[in-house]
Amino acid sequence: MTNRLGTLLPDRIDQAEQDAPAPMRSFAGSLRQDLAAVTAGLTLEWSSGKVEGNANRVKTLKRAMYGRASFRLLRTRILTRP
């Protein structure tokens, strides 16, 4: 994945559908349904990692504070990064 070789994906999917165990074959079939997006994700240099990391941090804070604190405190903790 670090080499951005998304163009090799169709061959790998074919190989997985022929030789792999049933759960892997199912996963390979689901990749084929949206092949263009998966190939772009493995090929292009852009990443949504920072956005996903921030969303994960906010969700973790929300879960930890659920029923214990006010929205005001949650907002303050989200805006003031630790």
* Confidence grade of residue 2 (pLDDT, cut at 50, 70, 90): low
Same domain membership, residue 72 and residue 53 = yes
Same domain membership, residue 66 and residue 38 = no
* C-alpha to C-alpha distance for 56 and 45, rounded to whole angstroms: 22
Owning domain of residue 19: 6-43
Residue 17 has what pLDDT? 86
Domain tally, the chain: 2
Kindly state whether residue 74 falls inside one of the protein's structural domains: yes
Q: What is the pTM of this model?
A: 0.50
Kindly state whether residue 1 falls inside one of the protein's structural domains: no
Give the tens place of pLDDT for each residue, 25-63.
888 888 888 888 888 888 887 778 888 898 999 999 999
Task: List Cβ neighbours of 73 (8 Å cut-off, separation of 6 or more).
Answer: 65
Kindly state whether residue 17 falls inside one of the protein's structural domains: yes
* C-alpha to C-alpha distance for 77 and 81, rounded to whole angstroms: 7
Q: At residue 1, does pLDDT exceed 60?
A: no
